[in-house]
Amino acid sequence: MVEWRTSGLTDYATGVAQMERQVAAIRAGEAEEQVWLLEHPPLYTAGTSARTEDLLNPRFPVHATGRGGQYTYHGPGQRVAYVMLDLKQRYQGTPDLRHFVWTLEDWLIRTLAALGVQGERREGRIGIWVTTPAGEAKIAALGIRVRQGVSYHGISLNVSPDLSHFQGIVPCGIREYGVSSLAALGVDAGMAEVDAALKAAWPF
């Protein structure tokens, strides 16, 4: 059984420390799996594949993180979901990480569909993409890590963040395309509505 937890604006270092404690407890069989919905103050995170040249203007704090991927931005108006699941149990042995990532992408696509937005995968590009009048743009990102069979970190969905904050980095190392949000697409959805859509589309 998955426990759903919702918090307000949460300091990044504090959030990661709490997430890691939860993951250790899940691994030890002392806690339920958890999806933690929260927001962070403005910051950049550097995944394990981050390149120095993709940090263009460190106007906000930069945090090195153990998740996969490159640079990303977190800030108010963006729904972050930390997904802490016992994949060994769910996949009855060795976790199928490719399938796990595909399922998280599908979760985002179905959540967006419930909000009236067509989100899509793109070959060779990480994240979920939308078509805007200015061209293709990323609306959601994924970055996960698995330790001893338990997943952590997770996904972020742009609800109504300040999109100019993304200009300090090359998001996920992709220079050719921009970023978008539900608000930029004309969808007037609050966090409560987005959270309800995420829970309704939950695939596990």
Which residues are the active-site residues? Answer: 172
Annotate the chain with DSSP letters as a single string. Answer: -EEEEEEEE--HHHHHHHHHHHHHHHHTTSS-EEEEEEE--SEEEE-TT--GGGB----S-EEE-SSSSSEEEE-TTEEEEEEE-BHHHHTTSS--HHHHHHHHHHHHHHHHHHTT---EEETTEEEEEEEETTEEEEEEEEEEEEETTEEEEEEEEESS--GGGGGGB-GGG--S-EE--TTTTT----HHHHHHHHHHH---
